Structure 1
């Protein structure tokens, strides 16, 4: 793990702002955004210290999601574990647990960037609105052991895995995040961001192939077939839902998630 602390060094304050890339080694967009910021970004204009973290360097070097275990399923980690990523999860959380954190991911499920979070607060809503994102998926109560479950942590799914567009979006989100956190000068430019409360996982049957018919963040009406198995069986919605990370090939065990669209994220957070 590599941690770079940048910004004013004439303050006794510890960094309270962090950004993390490379939680998954096959999702380099956040690492590329951090390196671009360090190489050519407005580092000299930072008005408060910031931690920039490249998390899973071994997996990044190997070009794989993880080495021994999925880092994003192992928080808060265990320093005594035999599993590399479980030890790394502990070290990462120790490095940033006093910060508000923006994490970067990418996906093979959906080209358009969106945010993920849990335990929505007005502060998290403010960050999401400041980022150039139209959608934010809230996984409260649905997942555990992930970065979104950690206090002060929000994530960006920056776009298609390995693409230049995802790296560019991650960089734009990093700049917007640093502005809303008062680390860079300039007012953030809030954008309308819809909030989707994830209510359940859509599981795959082992050994079954799928074709997906519904679009992510697009309403699926009751009685509509949102996917078909390789044998022609239709998966039909019993009630309306909005798909999140719906993909035939994005995950071995999960087809995606079903969510309810609840409105603008600021209103949902009670701002």
Structure 2
């Protein structure tokens, strides 16, 4: 199939086969994956929360064993809590979407003409000429599965074939939180007796996590890294101060 470009040149169109140069220079990151958000959130949360917990305990002038037990307990509790929360959240969202898809499927079966008219009006609202919008809606509505997908995208903003998985979200969140929470505990497990090695390693981990996130979000690496380092450092400083205050008060 051929068409004319704005400059008068002829363009050959092949259905389903975009121009190779366009394909190579017009790719997008996966913004709908069910693992990315819980993995990133889990790693950051594990680092910050366990670092804050351990610095708070250390501020109370307790011994090394208590700090290690607190860190490991925080790791286990936080990882299971994150996994359960992510599973419940994503499962609930998925169930809601599936219920709405059932509603849309019934409407397409019972009132196909009304749904086709609704789709045409939607395209008209986006600037398509009315006659063309009617023809497009008619063609798209011939296949029930395709019609459901189009209506789901246009009305619900979801892709029926690409719904997030609760299991993937839970496992990603659990693993990421556990890895993040383990970082401030490692120096103690390797023999450290002072708090500063754990804080140093954790802050470095936060900075590196921020740098990794910048590769996905296209933020400057130093901005993402310093943002995470600052937030984690502030949380650790506050909890250390509270731990010191409570330790003195209790003592």
Task: State if a TM-score over 0.5 links the two structures.
Answer: no
The higher-RCO structure (CA 8 Å, 6+ apart) is 2
Q: TM-score range by the shorter chain?
A: under 0.3
Normalised by the length of structure 2, the TM-score is 0.23
Greater percentage in strand? 1
Asked which structure has the greater CA Rg, the reply is 2
Greater percentage in helix? 2
